[in-house]
C-alpha cells in the first residue's frame, strides 16, 4: 500500500484528486468537484469511477423531497466528471490512432497459457502450500473480500455516493484480472477507495479488538519494508 503511493506512480495523483473531489462534495461545491473529478479521470482511467458517486447522490436525493434542492449542480458535476478520460482518449486517438490504447496495451501482459477459473483461490492457497508470502497475486482474493465487507459497511454508515463509487472497483479489478489472466494488480484498483480505511479504523477501534492495533501496525510496517525492498530491486509489487 505504501509503495503504491510513495513511488512515482499515477495512483498517488489520482487519489489526491479524488479526495479533493469528495471534499468538495461534502461542502456542497458540486460543479467544482466535477472539475476535479475530471482531472482525476485524466490522471488514471479508473478515475472515471468517481462519476458513480454523482449517480449515487442523484438517487439519494430523489428519495427525499428536501434533498432535491440543488439537484442541477449535482447533475452538472456528474456530467463534468468523465470529461478528463474522454479528453485522454481523444489525445490517444490523435497520437496513436487508438482511443482505447490504455486497454489494448494490456494484451502484452496476458499470460500465454489459459488458467483455471478458480485461480484467485488457488493463488491465495499458495501462501499456505508454498509459504511464499511475497507472491504478488496471493493477497488479491483476501483484499477483494475485505473490500466487499467494507463496501457493505459504507452502505450503512456513509452517504450513498461512497458505496456507489466503490461498487465499480471490484468489477474493474475482477474483469481486468480475468482479461490479463492475473489478479496481481487487483489490489491497486481496490485500495484507491479510501472508505476502506474508514471501515478498518472503526473495526480496530472496538474495545474487544484494540489488541489488534499493534499487531496491525507492526505487520503493516514489516510488509511495507519488505515490499519496498522488492520494488527497489525491480520486482513487481501490486
Tell me what pLDDT residue 47 has: 93
Tell me what pLDDT residue 8 has: 62
Most confident of 54-68, 130-144, 194-208: 194-208
Report residue 170 as a C-alpha cell.
471490484
Residue among 187, 111, 100, 177 at smallest CA distance from 142: 187
User: In whole angstroms, what is the distance from residue 151 CA to residue 163 CA?
Assistant: 6
Give the pLDDT mean for 102-130. 81
Tell me what pLDDT residue 2 has: 47
Give the pLDDT mean for 171-193. 87
Average model confidence (pLDDT) across the chain: 87
Tell me what pLDDT residue 6 has: 56
Helix (H/G/I), strand (E/B), else coil: 132: coil
Q: Which residue has the higher pLDDT, 118 or 57?
A: 57
How much is the pTM? Answer: 0.87
User: In whole angstroms, what is the distance from residue 203 CA to residue 193 CA?
Assistant: 17
Residue 79 · residue 41 · CB < 8 Å:
no
**Residue 3 in this model has a pLDDT that exceeds 60:** no
Tell me what pLDDT residue 69 has: 73
The CA radius of gyration of the chain, in Å to the nearest whole number, is 19
**Residue 41 in this model has a pLDDT that exceeds 90:** yes
Tally Cβ neighbours within 10 Å of residue 94.
9
Q: Which residue has the higher pLDDT, 181 or 95?
A: 95
**Dmax over Cα atoms in the chain, in whole Å?**
58
Tell me what pLDDT residue 108 has: 79
Tell me what pLDDT residue 123 has: 86
**Residue 221 in this model has a pLDDT that exceeds 90:** no
Amino acid at each position: 500500500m505504501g509503495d503504491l503511493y510513495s513511488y512515482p506512480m499515477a495512483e498517488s495523483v489520482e487519489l489526491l484528486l479524488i479526495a479533493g473531489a469528495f471534499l468538495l462534495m461534502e461542502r456542497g461545491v458540486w460543479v467544482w468537484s466535477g472539475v476535479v473529478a475530471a482531472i482525476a479521470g485524466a490522471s488514471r482511467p479508473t478515475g472515471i469511477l468517481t462519476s458513480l458517486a454523482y449517480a449515487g447522490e442523484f438517487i439519494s436525493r430523489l428519495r427525499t423531497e428536501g434533498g432535491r434542492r440543488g439537484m442541477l449542480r449535482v447533475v452538472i458535476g456528474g456530467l463534468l466528471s468523465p470529461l478528463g478520460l474522454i479528453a485522454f482518449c481523444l489525445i490517444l486517438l490523435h497520437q496513436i490512432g487508438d482511443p482505447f490504447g490504455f486497454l489494448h496495451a494490456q494484451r502484452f501482459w496476458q499470460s500465454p497459457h489459459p488458467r483455471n477459473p478458480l485461480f484467485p483461490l488457488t493463488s491465495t492457497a499458495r501462501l499456505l502450500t508454498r509459504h511464499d508470502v511475497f507472491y504478488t497475486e496471493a493477497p488479491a482474493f483476501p483484499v477483494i473480500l475485505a473490500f466487499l465487507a467494507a463496501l457493505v459497511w459504507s452502505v450503512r454508515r456513509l452517504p450513498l455516493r461512497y458505496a456507489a463509487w466503490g461498487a465499480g472497483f471490484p468489477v474493474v479489478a475482477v474483469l481486468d484480472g480475468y482479461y490479463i489472466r492475473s489478479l496481481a494488480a487487483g489490489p491497486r484498483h481496490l485500495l484507491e477507495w479510501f472508505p476502506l480505511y474508514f471501515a478498518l479504523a472503526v473495526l480496530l477501534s472496538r474495545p474487544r479488538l484494540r489488541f489488534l492495533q499493534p499487531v496491525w501496525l507492526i505487520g503493516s510496517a514489516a510488509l511495507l519494508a519488505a515490499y519496498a525492498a522488492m520494488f527497489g530491486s525491480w520486482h513487481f509489487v501490486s
